[in-house]
Amino acid sequence: MNRSSNGFVLTVYISIIFFISSCESFYLPRVAPRDFEKGDLLPVKVANLSSPKTKLPYDYYFLNYCKPQQIHDTSEYLWEVLRGDHIQNSVYMEQRCEVGCRITLDAESAQKFKEKIDDNYRVNM
C-alpha cells in the first residue's frame, strides 16, 4: 500500500472511533424502560428453576408453588423464545400486598423442594 491509501485507512479508523465515542446511548427494540404510576399493578412473571450445578432447567410450577387460577404463557421477546424460557403469569399479578396462598406440602412435594435446594436451584421471576 502507498502512503495515500494508508492515510485514507487511518482517517476512516479515526472517524469510526470518533463516531462510536460520541454516541451517548443506543436503543434495543422492546427493551426501553417502562414507567409505572402510583396504584398500577406490577406484573410479576415467573420463568423457571435453574441451577449452575446441574444445568438442567425445570418449569417454575414443577414445584408446588402458589398457582393462579389460569396459567398463561407470556413470552414477549424473541430471545426468551430462543433461549427456551417458559415465561408464565404468577399469582402475584392478581393481588396487592396480600398473601398469595398457603400450601401444606405433602412428603413428595417436600422431598422435591429439598432435592432442588441441595442442587442449588434458583427461582427466576
Tens of pLDDT, residues 84-122:
677 888 887 655 677 778 888 899 999 999 999 999 999
Greater confidence, 30 or 65?
Answer: 65
Average pLDDT, integer, range 25-30:
58
Structurally, the chain folds into a number of domains equal to: 1
Within-domain flag for 53: yes
Confidence of residue 74 (pLDDT cuts 50, 70, 90): confident
pLDDT in the model for residue 120: 94
Please say if the pLDDT value at position 30 is more than 80: no
Q: How far apart are the first and last CA of the chain?
A: 57
Within-domain flag for 19: no
pLDDT in the model for residue 67: 86
Within-domain flag for 101: yes
Within-domain flag for 80: yes
Greater confidence, 25 or 64?
Answer: 64
Within-domain flag for 36: no
For residue 8, give the DSSP letter.
H
Q: For the chain, what percent of residues have pLDDT higher than 90?
A: 15
Greater confidence, 85 or 67?
Answer: 67
* Residue that has been written with the C-alpha cell 442442587 in this structure: 119
Range of the domain at 70: 42-124
Helices (H) and strands (E) in the chain, counts: 3, 5
Enter the pTM of the model: 0.62
Within-domain flag for 81: yes
For residue 90, give the DSSP letter.
-
Within-domain flag for 105: yes
